[in-house]
Amino acid sequence: MKFTTRARYGLRAMVDLAQYYSPHEPVPLVRVAERQGISEGYLEQLMTFLRKGGLVRSVRGAQGGYLLSREPARITAGEVVRCLEGPINPTGCVSEDDPEICARAETCATRVMWERIRESIAGVLDSTTLEDLCKEAEKMRLSSEASMYYI
């Protein structure tokens, strides 16, 4: 299964919001765009989906921006991906929201494998929170700093 740019960039934007999380201080989208190297216009489109999905809130005005709707530990990568991509379906015959989608379900041996793949992908996404991804980003940052040589 290949995720689209929408899911990849959306997840990066959500991790960025999580890294700067404060329940009362919105993060300006221009800052997210600068840090992530994603156009502000495209981020605005992604935020529309995420806001409608209840994952972020927007605040207007000079001090405006976006806030996570919940703490980073309470938002999973699975929620973000589903909000932006829809159900996790590695093939057309296996669907999270319609298990009866396949007309050949009773006779197709590969369907069982596709279902296991779907469950594995969903399991990883659903067990990974934005907080987990922030911790991973911090480890990577520290590792990168430790490997720098100074003269």
CATH code for the domain of 20: 1.10.10.10
In whole angstroms, give the CA distance from residue 91 to residue 108: 13
Domain membership flag for residue 117: yes
Whether 151 is covered by a domain: the verdict is no
> Residue 57 pairs with which residues in a beta bridge?
67
**Residue 58 within a domain:** yes
The Cα 19–Cα 5 span in angstroms is 21
- In this structure, is residue 21 part of a structural domain? yes
Which residues constitute the domain of residue 124? 5-146
Distances 105 to 102, 118, 120, 144 between C-alpha atoms, Å: 5, 15, 19, 48
- Give the list of residues 6+ apart from residue 53 with CB closer than 8 angstroms, or none: 79, 83, 84
> Phi first, then psi: what are they for 102, rounded to 5°?
-90, 125
pLDDT in tens, 109-126: 888 898 899 999 999 999
pLDDT digits (tens, 9 = 90+) for 68-96: 999 999 999 999 999 999 999 888 778 77
Residue 139 within a domain: yes
How many domains is the chain built from? 1
pTM to 2 decimal places: 0.88
